[in-house]
Amino acid sequence: MSDEGHFLEVVDNRTGKKHLIPITEDTIDASIFAQLGLSIYDNGYLNTAVCRSAISYIDGDKGILRYRGYDIEDLAENSTFLEVSYLLIFGDLPTRDQLQTWETRIMRHTFIHENMIDYLKSFRYDAHPMGMVTSALSAMSTFHPEASTALQGEHIYENETMVNKQIFRLIGKVPTLAACAYRHRIGRAYNSPSNEFGYTENFLYMLDRLSENNYVPNPRLARALDVIFILHADHELNCSTAAMRQMTSTGVDPFVCLAGAASALYGPSHGGANEAALKMLEEIGSVENIPGFIEDVKAKKRRLMGFGHRVYKSYDPRAKILKKISDEVFEIMGRNPLIDIAVELERIALSDEYFIKRNLYPNVDFYSGIIYKAMGFPTDFFPVLFCIGRTSGWLAHWHEQLQQPIPIFRPKQSYEGAEPRAYVNLADRSAAQSPKIVDQGVNARKNLPPDTE
């Protein structure tokens, strides 16, 4: 099992014993350390492999991203989002017949239950669209009781038909939920899906059709968005995909797993960085202000949003493709002046010693926000667009994990709390010892200082 006799030689100087730990595919088995009474401390799982996966591959030093062995550049150039989804989930590109069946099955699952529409309508007029989508995904579990492991038992997913049905449903319905959340926000009636269109065209149709009988979305914009979905479809064990795997390990149904993954994506450090990059460009305001901004970044007063990556220590290949897509989108929608600031910011940063030394390059979020803005999407909708693309990746990991069952995730902690102590009765507790809770007080509405209550 080890890499041709490669071992890590460890001497435990508490006991003087030497241990040979086999190295397998650049990893060592952490459970061996349990036998030595040790666990690995890895705050935030920065260097812990929690599964073996064949879905996507990243070489951060060389700026390579591959799905199932195919370069992201090739897929973005030649493929469609649904084709790539098939590749990610089932391991290879579909034949013509397989693709046709796959697309038909997914487009048949774009409709959502009328009660789900009522549920979505019950949100406040200004509800964040990502809050609506994550809640709706969780609620969807209750609309498909035959797919609920809580009701039917985990064995239902030993049946491949059952697995595939939930994949069709989720890839089909996520854009519909997203479109309903968008229409809710702008105070327009929801559009039913139209299966005469392809996947991404139908999404734009649901977003934009008003009363036109023959509304046809712009095919070039639909293609640009389809490629953006490809770029966002998978990125190995990012935070939301790790959440997907963690939820899957509990045996809960895929609707709830997806709600968990989407909730992780909702976080500003994950799905929201493109919004931060866009706000930064707006704040810089003009090309003349860039040098001053760069000085602030170098003085650590600011971060250059959309730059740097935990894994990529060279140009993020997705950012390169997005830069090209931006030209196409501007040709249709008009040039967004923020692009000039972005291009100049990139040029200055890439020739500055501070950024060169730290291997800081544009990441996927640097250009995606400007493109979304040029397409007319509101900023709080950006993570929803990310979510549509990433749904395929999450489902690919769900599918893979069902085939190689992993025990329920249970990371360890390193306890650093109080030593055992005797219970203190209420009368004997001192204010100095008991933590004070910071609170506005119940009378905040009356604008009274909290301690006058």
SS3 44: coil
DSSP 198-259: -HHHHHHHHHH--S-TT----HHHHHHHHHHHHHHS--SS-HHHHHHHHHHTTT--HHHHHH
* Of the candidate residues 17, 358, 412, 429, the single one contacting ligand CMC (CB under 6 A): 358
Could you say whether residue 297 binds ligand CMC (CB under 6 A)? yes
Q: Which residues pair with 7 in a beta bridge?
A: 22
Element (H, E) at 70: strand 70-71
CB of 179 or CB of 294, closer to ligand CMC: 294
CB of 256 or CB of 304, closer to ligand CMC: 304
SS3 195: coil
Q: How near is the Cβ of 306 to ligand CMC at its closest, in Å? A: 5
Q: How near is the Cβ of 226 to ligand CMC at its closest, in Å? A: 19
Q: Please, are residues 36 and 19 in contact by the beta-carbon 8 Å criterion?
A: yes
* Of the candidate residues 65, 136, 264, 364, the single one contacting ligand CMC (CB under 6 A): 364
Q: Please, are residues 123 and 106 in contact by the beta-carbon 8 Å criterion?
A: no
309 is catalytic: yes
CB of 132 or CB of 231, closer to ligand CMC: 231
The alpha carbon of 366 is separated from its chain's Cα centroid by a whole number of angstroms, namely 16
Looking at beta carbons, which residue is closest to ligand CMC? 308
Q: How many residues line the site for ligand CMC (CB under 6 A)?
A: 17
CA atoms within 13 A on the CB side of 418: 4
Nearest to 63 by CA among 327, 275, 377, 359: 359
Residues 113, 144, 270, 380: which is the catalytic one?
270
Neighbouring residues of 61: CB distance < 8 A, sequence distance ≥ 6: 313, 314
Q: What x/- string results for residues 365 through 404 when contact with ligand CMC is judged by CB under 6 A?
A: x---------------------------------------
Radius of gyration for the chain, computed over Cα atoms and rounded to the nearest angstrom: 25
Q: How near is the Cβ of 157 to ligand CMC at its closest, in Å? A: 28
CB of 178 or CB of 360, closer to ligand CMC: 360
Q: Which residues pair with 8 in a beta bridge?
A: 21
List the interface residues with ligand CMC, window 302-321 (CB under 6 A): 303-310
Could you say whether residue 360 binds ligand CMC (CB under 6 A)? yes
**Segment contacting ligand CMC (CB under 6 A): 193-201, 259-267, 327-335, 356-364?**
356-364
208 is catalytic: no
Neighbouring residues of 393: CB distance < 8 A, sequence distance ≥ 6: 55, 56, 88, 233, 234, 235, 241
Could you say whether residue 301 binds ligand CMC (CB under 6 A)? no
Q: How near is the Cβ of 408 to ligand CMC at its closest, in Å? A: 26
CB of 53 or CB of 141, closer to ligand CMC: 53
CB of 193 or CB of 306, closer to ligand CMC: 306
**Segment contacting ligand CMC (CB under 6 A): 134-142, 147-155, 330-338, 363-371?**
363-371
Amino acid at 300: K
List the interface residues with ligand CMC, window 258-287 (CB under 6 A): 273
CB of 197 or CB of 307, closer to ligand CMC: 307
Could you say whether residue 58 binds ligand CMC (CB under 6 A)? no
128 is catalytic: no
* Of the candidate residues 173, 235, 390, 399, the single one contacting ligand CMC (CB under 6 A): 235
Question: Which residue pairs, CB below 8 angstroms and at least 24 apart, start in 189-192?
Answer: 190/117, 190/120, 192/111
Q: Where are the alpha helices (DSSP H) in 79-218?
A: 81-90, 96-107, 114-121, 129-143, 149-152, 160-186, 199-208
Could you say whether residue 363 binds ligand CMC (CB under 6 A)? yes
Q: What x/- string results for residues 91 through 130 when contact with ligand CMC is judged by CB under 6 A?
A: ----------------------------------------
Widest distance between CA atoms in the chain? 81
Q: How near is the Cβ of 346 to ligand CMC at its closest, in Å? A: 12
DSSP conformation class of 444: G
Residues 234, 253, 316, 365: which is the catalytic one?
365
**Segment contacting ligand CMC (CB under 6 A): 2-10, 63-71, 298-306, 388-396?**
298-306
* Of the candidate residues 238, 249, 326, 336, the single one contacting ligand CMC (CB under 6 A): 238
Structure tokens, 69:
């062995």
CB of 98 or CB of 359, closer to ligand CMC: 359
Q: From residue 392, how far is each of 93, 106, 297, 356, 386 by CA, in Å?
A: 14, 12, 36, 35, 11
Nearest to 252 by CA among 318, 345, 157: 157
Q: Please, are residues 345 and 290 in contact by the beta-carbon 8 Å criterion?
A: yes
Residues 109, 232, 235, 309: which is the catalytic one?
309
Residues annotated as part of the active site: 270, 309, 365
List residues near ligand CMC by CB under 6 A. Answer: 235, 238, 273, 297, 303-310, 358, 360, 363-365
